[in-house]
Amino acid sequence: MRLYYKLPFLLFFLYSCKTTNKASEDVTRYLFQTEITPNTIFKTSIEQNMEMNMTMSGHGMPTYPTVVKTKTTGGTTLIIGNKNQLGYNPVSITYDSLNVVAENELPVSSGQSTPDFSKAKLHGHYDGKTIRVDSVTGVNDQLSNMIQQLSQPIFDDMIINFPSNPMYIGESFTDFKTLDLPLQGLGIGVMDMKMTYTLVKVVNQKATFNNTLVINGSININGEESLIVGEGSGYSILDITEKYISFSNLTLTQTTNMKMQGVNIRQEIVIHSKNKVAKCRPDKS
């Protein structure tokens, strides 16, 4: 259960590395497309507050409630290099800092930080379509395998599928993603995510979108299927000139009902997250 508990931190870290975007203006219509820019560094600052309420029952045991509140702060660096002799753009992702503080002892003691992910470094390449993770260093083999297995489907689905036609202020579109998430030592998870973007305004080459997220999924643990449902909302800001998402926030409520070795577990998670991203060239970092 320790690794499963840490999944929100890993997912949060990976999604903070959202790729860049570009847009062109035609009077009151705006055309958005997605691209990855080589020879670029993205510095991301992360803030997340999470509250998890978990109830366990079964085998004649009394209902056992657990409440965990955590605050995560930190920063990441995503580097996309120039194309090499093999025809790929090398990619690396590291933590500049990470601090996770919990209010009780599951799984970290009050006032202490969780350093595991802060030492991880992802090495990979951009093949013209997506970022491929080749290896993860700085952590033990178990955590390295879990990060690599979890990160690849996220990178495969991280590009926003903007509509091919120009958008008007107030117009919306929906982007559908499916994530296959192997859970190291636990099972396999599948999450269908529906994110709806509504264009609110464009001011000084900054496009603001209101976002709503709906999650439906399941986790198969030792042959027992557990359901995941979630809803969230927030907004994001696209820097049109520099072609990347410079700010995003999201409030997500997610519920998971699972059964492990005859014990019924209900987990409710509320996450408030905020990401700020700065873009620079390697010689200006």
| Residue carrying the six token digits 């009394």 | 62
Number of Cβ atoms within 10 Å of the Cβ of 225: 12
* pLDDT tens digit at each of 285 positions of the chain: 444 445 555 555 555 555 444 454 445 788 886 677 888 998 989 899 999 998 888 777 666 678 889 998 988 898 999 988 888 899 999 988 888 888 764 444 334 444 467 788 999 998 877 788 899 998 888 778 777 776 776 676 667 788 888 899 999 999 998 887 766 566 678 889 999 999 999 999 899 999 999 999 998 877 778 889 999 999 999 888 887 888 999 999 999 888 777 788 889 999 999 999 898 876 644
The conformational region for residue 107 under phi > 0 = left, psi -120 to 50 = alpha, else beta, is alpha
How far is it, in rounded angstroms, from Cα 224 to Cα 257? Answer: 11
Concatenating the DSSP letter of every residue in 106-126 gives SSS-BT----TGGG-EEEEEE
Question: What pTM does this model have?
Answer: 0.80
What is the token pair recorded at 187?
Answer: 């099972």
Residue pair 146/133 in contact by the 8 Å Cβ criterion: no
Displacement of CA 11 from its chain's centroid (Å): 4
Q: Give the sign of the dihedral formed by CA 241, CA 242, CA 244, CA 247.
A: negative
Number of Cβ atoms within 10 Å of the Cβ of 251: 15
Helices assigned H by DSSP within 16-162: 141-156
Amino acid at 203: V
